Amino acid sequence: MAENTRKLTVPAWFVAAGAAIGVLALLVALISCTGEGFGMKELPMVALLTLAAVLLCAGILLIARSRGDNVFVTVMVFLMVIALAFCVYQMIMGKSDVFGTVLFSDLEKGYAPAERATWLGVVSIVMYMAATLVTAIGAFCTLSKKA
């Protein structure tokens, strides 16, 4: 195992960190949707995309370790960035209603469940953006020490 991981470069762990942050972002998103009436129809899609990002990440690390940083890794990194970016998209679209009422009106000012749904939503979106960014940074670098 240790030998295997030594075959990966530090930026490869950026990609892994992107997936990990994505998972954490999903957990925050789930919590933000728990309040009665604060569900989000986009949530299953967000979960699916996050799962896809995690699987892609696993694939990236596996291939990078065993076969080096090749075109398959590139395709998967590209798709992983797209998956995480679409999570940002879905989260913002899904939360736009509650953002609108809490951040741009007095409609639910002071109402704790609404504010929790909003601010946890913001945190989740920021985390997905960070995940995308970290993964994209990784994409600039070689992910495997194997030639």
By the rule CB under 8 A, 6 interacts with other proteins: no
- The whole-angstrom separation of Cα 105 and Cα 119 is 15
Q: Which of 8, 16, 25, 40 binds other proteins (CB under 8 A)?
A: 40
By the rule CB under 8 A, 72 interacts with other proteins: no
By the rule CB under 8 A, 44 interacts with other proteins: no
Q: From the CB of 120, what's the least distance to other proteins, in Å?
A: 16
75 Cβ contact list (under 8 Å, min separation 6): none
- The whole-angstrom separation of Cα 66 and Cα 83 is 24
By the rule CB under 8 A, 50 interacts with other proteins: no
| Range 90-119, binding other proteins (CB under 8 A) | 92-93, 96-97, 100-101, 106-112, 114
- The window from 24-32, 45-53, 54-62, 84-92 that contacts other proteins (CB under 8 A) reads 84-92
